[in-house]
């Protein structure tokens, strides 16, 4: 199935296919992956890149009318009244974000018609450089190596450009130059390196560091079947959990924030109870150009019909989408401190059964999250699960 997608995209038919690429900086996490600092127009012909042009969303958004109201709590935290392309990935579902991004592109008089939208988190750069090796960008100092590449690029577009006499409106032109160097390096890879690169791309897709949306319904259906589409599972009817953060502090603080969560569910009572404990550890000690106190809008997606039974913060929000209910909380984690958020809620009575299934869907852009799940069934029997979350997970008591 996955091979079918690559085959259809690399067909030798002399037809140029055009994709919008959303470059999402997951050091400033957003519900769909990360802040969209840049976007690209990628053209592929006969399985090869024929053109790639990258644009600063800050510049492009100057062409987008301010007519779409920004969702809560952007006006309250970022003082943003209207939504534009750079902030458009506010849904945990990539298809929603892809269509929204294309809508803003058209509102900004974009001329291309897209065959698909690709979401690419900053983590992907590190993984590519592990295959291509370090790269240098003509006209810019330093070497971009896998472990330091994002930090070096972040410093370039936030600080170094001014020292180099580059106009602020041109500060992200380095992205185009970097992309050209990497594409050239990829084209020079030998067969064994290309196999390794395909494995890395597959792993990025599994982690949702790359997400895909296609206008061709057949290809889109195949992407959804192999979980490459970043879709919320609307058909799942058993227990469900998704922890979704939106960094609304306007800094790249997610580089310093470590997360873990524990989930306890108890079916031994008349009404099944759930207790989610999320731990945020802000490892930075002082404010600088990249970080400050962490502010996140946390949404916890749970089965429809669930009911919040405590109040972790003042003024929680509630909503229903994708066949799920969510509880929303505005959370602040000061520099150098740890914040624990306890969310307690009643699950729907229909979930009270001996064959327990739980699906946890991972947020794009947040990896290596330690997770503990403890389940007490109707007879008081306890099951424990511990794992590091890097993809969607299904836990089934029936399979034990």
Contact 301, 250 (CB under 8 A): no
Residues 6+ apart with CB under 8 A from 158: 289, 290
Residues 6+ apart with CB under 8 A from 171: 56, 156, 157, 161
Which of 117, 31, 104, 38 shows the shortest CA–CA distance to 74? Answer: 31
DSSP class of residue 351 equals: G
What is the pLDDT at residue 378?
85
DSSP class of residue 170 equals: G
Q: How far from the centroid of its chain's Cα atoms is residue 249's Cα? A: 17
In angstroms, the CA 74 to CA 82 distance is: 9
Look at the block and give the residue holding tokens 């007879």: 379
In angstroms, the CA 378 to CA 73 distance is: 39
Beta partners for residue 307, in sequence order:
346
* Cα angle value 29/127/174 (rounded, 5°): 70
Classify 228 as helix, strand or coil.
coil
Beta partners for residue 371, in sequence order:
261, 387
What is the pLDDT at residue 380?
85
* Torsion over CA: 249, 91, 389, 391 (sign): negative
Look at the block and give the residue holding tokens 């969303």: 57
Classify 380 as helix, strand or coil.
coil
Alpha-carbon dihedral of residues 312, 313, 316, 321, nearest 10 degrees?
-50
* Cα angle value 223/225/229 (rounded, 5°): 40
What is the pLDDT at residue 377?
86
What is the pLDDT at residue 9?
78
What is the pLDDT at residue 212?
97
pTM: 0.95
Beta partners for residue 121, in sequence order:
24
**Beta-sheet strand order (sheet of 210-214):** 48-56, 35-45, 16-25, 116-121, 210-214
- Tokens in use for 97? 């974000």
Residue 52 parent element (H or E): strand 48-56
What is the pLDDT at residue 354?
62
Q: How many CA atoms lie less than 13 Å away from 54 in the CB half-sphere?
A: 19
Which of 343, 387, 100 shows the shortest CA–CA distance to 244? Answer: 343
pLDDT in tens, the chain (400 residues): 566 777 777 788 899 999 999 999 999 999 999 999 999 999 999 988 999 999 999 999 999 999 999 999 999 999 999 999 999 999 999 999 999 999 999 999 999 999 999 999 999 999 999 999 999 999 999 899 988 899 999 999 999 999 999 999 999 999 999 999 999 999 899 999 999 999 999 999 999 999 999 999 999 999 999 999 999 999 999 999 999 999 999 999 999 999 999 999 999 888 999 999 999 999 999 999 999 999 999 999 999 999 999 999 999 999 999 999 999 999 999 999 999 999 999 999 888 766 789 999 999 999 999 999 999 988 888 999 999 999 999 998 654 4
In angstroms, the CA 294 to CA 331 distance is: 8
Contact 215, 115 (CB under 8 A): yes
What is the pLDDT at residue 4?
72
Backbone angles phi, psi at 307, to 5 degrees: -140, 120
Contact 280, 257 (CB under 8 A): yes
What is the pLDDT at residue 353?
65
Beta partners for residue 49, in sequence order:
44
Contact 16, 45 (CB under 8 A): yes
User: All domains of the chain, ordered by start, with CATH?
Assistant: 2-225 (3.40.630), 239-399 (2.60.40)
């Amino acid at each position: 199935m996955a091979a079918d997608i690559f085959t259809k995209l690399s067909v030798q038919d002399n037809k140029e296919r055009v994709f919008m690429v959303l470059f999402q900086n997951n050091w400033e996490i957003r519900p769909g992956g990360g802040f969209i600092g840049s976007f690209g127009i990628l053209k592929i012909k006969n399985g090869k890149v024929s053109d790639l042009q990258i644009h600063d969303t800050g510049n492009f958004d100057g062409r987008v009318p301010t007519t779409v109201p920004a969702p809560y709590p952007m006006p309250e935290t970022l003082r943003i009244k209207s939504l534009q392309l750079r902030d458009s990935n506010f849904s945990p579902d990539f298809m929603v974000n892809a269509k929204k991004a294309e809508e803003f592109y058209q509102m900004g008089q974009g001329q291309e018609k897209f065959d698909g939208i690709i979401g690419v988190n900053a983590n992907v750069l590190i993984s590519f450089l592990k295959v291509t090796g370090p790269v240098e960008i003509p006209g810019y100092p330093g070497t971009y190596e896998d472990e330091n590449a994002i930090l070096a690029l972040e410093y370039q577009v936030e600080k170094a450009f001014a020292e180099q006499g580059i106009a602020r409106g041109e500060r992200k032109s380095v992205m185009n130059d970097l992309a050209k160097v990497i594409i050239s390096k990829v084209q020079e890879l030998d067969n064994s390196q290309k196999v390794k690169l395909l494995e890395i791309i597959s792993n990025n897709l599994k982690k949702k560091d790359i997400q895909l949306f296609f206008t061709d319904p057949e290809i889109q259906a195949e992407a959804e079947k192999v979980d490459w589409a970043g879709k919320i599972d609307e058909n799942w009817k058993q227990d469900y959990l998704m922890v979704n953060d939106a960094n609304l502090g306007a800094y790249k603080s997610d580089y310093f924030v470590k997360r873990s969560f524990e989930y306890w569910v108890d079916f031994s009572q008349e009404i099944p109870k759930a207790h989610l404990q999320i731990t945020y550890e802000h490892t930075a000690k002082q404010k600088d150009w990249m970080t400050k106190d962490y502010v996140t809008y946390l949404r916890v997606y749970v089965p429809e019909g669930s009911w919040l039974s405590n109040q972790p913060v003042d003024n929680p929000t509630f909503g229903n989408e994708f066949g799920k209910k969510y509880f929303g909380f505005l959370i602040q984690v000061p520099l150098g401190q740890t914040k624990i958020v306890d969310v307690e809620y009643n699950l729907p009575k229909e979930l009270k059964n001996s064959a327990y299934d739980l699906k946890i869907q991972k947020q794009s852009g947040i990896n290596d999250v330690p997770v503990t799940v403890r389940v007490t069934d109707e007879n008081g029997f306890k099951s424990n699960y511990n794992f590091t979350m890097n993809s969607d997970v299904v836990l089934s008591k029936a399979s034990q």
